[in-house]
Chain A
């Protein structure tokens, strides 16, 4: 399958690969998976406790080019946003930006799930109330 230029760029030069200190209260970690293809994605954010701005974001993804590109893009997008702003990112925005074909939409869903999971973890650590998780099935 032909990947778009943006996907290839993120795949060849992934931004923000790495990890943050999972134990830190300022860090939220999201580990998510797409059973359709067996991909796993870890996305971490470091949040400024005063401003709630995401100052740092790192990811590590084991999966196809689109999954790597989606998570790489997700880290770029969340950086500099407040937690609430980051929650507004939709998987369809990622699809559009990367020109993902229909068979790769689940990669963008995974990236959005990872952002939400990381923020959810950070909220839990910092005692920010949030509604109960919505079941996938």
Chain B
């Protein structure tokens, strides 16, 4: 998924030989389809690696590019061109799906910027094993306690729902939790928006120190967000009385 971006290169048209910008899709001289080049999703849309994006504009661009690259247009073309059209269309679709969603966009940017959360976690575990100690958790322990406690309550609520009994106090607790965590989701989003703007400023000015600080901030917020998102989802489900699971575990993943 990660590609190295070469910014200053040109691409020569295979058909008429004229030079095109690296991320041109069609030759500007003869209009032939150009071969795919390794590009990240931002570059595919001709965008810098910024996080504040106008989605309606992006959408227009997506449709414009889609129309140009669509495999139907190349049904009569050479095998090679048909293949390129397929590859490019599929990459374009992935790029659009990723960039239109601000959270997926942020995760993708962090990945491009070399932050692989899972790999870091695995490496930290390896390091802890080598040092003969336990790993310091990424999420604060009190938050883990909170998540665990609430999951216990959710399990109780599911069991109560299964036996058609109800516990008014528990329901009240869950309602309060739903309110609390929904508010936290909103607050997290506001914080993320601030970091997106901060990232764009640091990216524009090329301030590497600031970029690094903002990246770590985004990682911390996204980690918190995973837990809170799941809690909101599960609490709502329990309040709807929809989720029933016989062995007392929440199915996900």
Contacts and interface: CB of A to CB of B under 8 A. Distances in A.
B138 A137 contact: yes
Interface stretch (B80-88, B92-100, B120-128, B197-205): B120-128
A68 interface: yes
B90 interface: no
Contacts, number: 137
B229 A38 contact: yes
B247 A12 contact: yes
Contacts of B137: 32-33, 113, 117, 136
B215 to A, nearest CB: 11
Contacts of B248: 17
A116 B253 CA distance: 24
B133 A112 contact: no
A61 B155 CA distance: 11
- Interface size class on chain B is 35 or more
Nearest to B147: A40
B100 to A, nearest CB: 22
B227 A38 contact: yes
A136 B151 contact: no
Interface residues of A, number: 47
12 contacts: A31-B144, A36-B118, A40-B151, A61-B249, A62-B250, A105-B122, A106-B122, A112-B125, A117-B134, A131-B131, A133-B134, A136-B135
Given A35-B223, A37-B226, A62-B151, A112 B129 contact: yes
B110 to A, nearest CB: 12
Contacts of A50: none
A26 interface: no
B148 interface: yes
